[in-house]
């Protein structure tokens, strides 16, 4: 492959075609450096509205704006070549009407270069999903625990236990029938996620759901351990970067206060006498 050849990015239909095959690998990303890291390994890179909590310190995703999603979507776009890039539609940007959803989804796609959008909700969003897909906007659905509805749920509890499982099943069915190319199943009982995966033709992407799902997604900062005290049950920590980062920052602080940094190799001499050993101007 020549240096100028670019990898063809995955599309919504590519993801849909993976139903029942090798599980889809999905992670969030909010910045260019992280997008470059995850793109090599992921089939889907989601610019999630979780950015509001992860990077902006908001108490929930409800306060995330369309401008925030566009800003982070543009950053991620610069780092993604292979994976399907999906951007979350934030709270208040699509619920009022299919027309509102189309205007804002079109803006997301044109200003970020993403290939699909994700929105939360099932039965009540089916008309909107159909409206968007009929107009050239691929949609990833999201049912179960939908974080934008945290105030309705009264927290982040498991959804779909007991008789409530019928509601989640109906939500997933509505998303699939409306034309979404995949659906996220968040924080629902494992047997229910397994049943939805087996009964519907679109890929399911689990987060706190089931290993039987057609793919899995996590917030990358969670699985890297960038939050020292936050350990959701459904997250496996693959690193503890908060611990190592804090140790590094502490070592830097000590070096500065004890005048060990900068050392001679970190400073520039007088160019006129040939003493400058720096490599950058």
Binding residues for Mg(2+): 49, 88, 120
Residues that constitute the known binding site: 49-50, 88, 118, 120
The Cα-based distances of 9 to 19, 32, 36, 72, 210 in angstroms read 18, 16, 13, 19, 27
Instruction: Please tell me whether the peptide bond between 262 and the residue prior to it is cis, using omega within 30 degrees of 0.
Output: yes
- Give the integer Cα–Cα distance in Å for 43 and 146: 22
Residues that constitute the known binding site for 3-methyl-2-oxobutanoate: 49-50, 88, 118
H or E segment and range at residue 177: helix 164-178
Residues recognised as catalytic? 186
Q: Which tokens go with 159?
A: 């959804």
The Cα-based distances of 101 to 68, 81, 91, 133, 149 in angstroms read 17, 27, 11, 11, 17
Q: Are 90 and 64 in contact (CB under 8 A)?
A: yes
H or E segment and range at residue 14: helix 12-16
- CA 45, 12, 48, 131: dihedral to nearest 10 degrees? 170
Nearest CA-CA partner of 76 in 95, 117, 48: 48
Q: Are 217 and 196 in contact (CB under 8 A)?
A: no
């Amino acid at each position: 492959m020549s240096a100028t050849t670019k990898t063809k990015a995955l599309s919504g239909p590519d993801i849909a075609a993976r139903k029942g095959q090798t599980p889809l690998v999905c992670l969030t990303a909010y910045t260019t450096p992280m997008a470059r890291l995850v793109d090599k390994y992921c089939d889907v890179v989601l610019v999630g509205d979780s950015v509001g909590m992860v990077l902006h310190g908001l108490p929930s995703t409800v306060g995330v704006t369309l401008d925030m999603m566009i800003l982070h979507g543009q950053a991620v776009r610069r780092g993604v070549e292979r994976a399907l890039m999906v951007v979350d539609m934030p709270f208040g940007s699509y619920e009022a009407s299919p027309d509102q959803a189309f205007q804002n989804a079109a803006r997301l796609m044109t200003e970020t270069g993403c290939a699909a959008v994700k929105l939360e909700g099932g039965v009540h969003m089916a008309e909107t999903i159909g409206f968007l897909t009929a107009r050239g906007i691929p949609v990833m659905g999201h049912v179960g625990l939908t974080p934008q509805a945290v105030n309705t749920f009264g927290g982040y509890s498991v959804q779909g236990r007991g008789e409530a499982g019928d509601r989640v099943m109906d939500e997933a069915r509505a998303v699939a029938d409306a034309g979404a190319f995949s659906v996220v199943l968040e924080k629902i009982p494992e047997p229910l996620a397994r049943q939805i995966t087996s009964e519907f033709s679109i890929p399911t992407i689990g987060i706190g759901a089931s290993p039987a799902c057609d793919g899995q997604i996590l917030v990358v900062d969670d699985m890297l351990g960038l939050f020292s005290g936050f350990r959701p049950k459904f997250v496996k920590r693959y690193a503890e970067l908060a611990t190592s980062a804090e140790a590094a920052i502490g070592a830097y602080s000590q070096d500065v206060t004890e005048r060990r940094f900068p050392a001679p190799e970190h400073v520039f001499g007088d160019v006129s006498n040939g003493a400058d050993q720096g490599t950058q101007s």
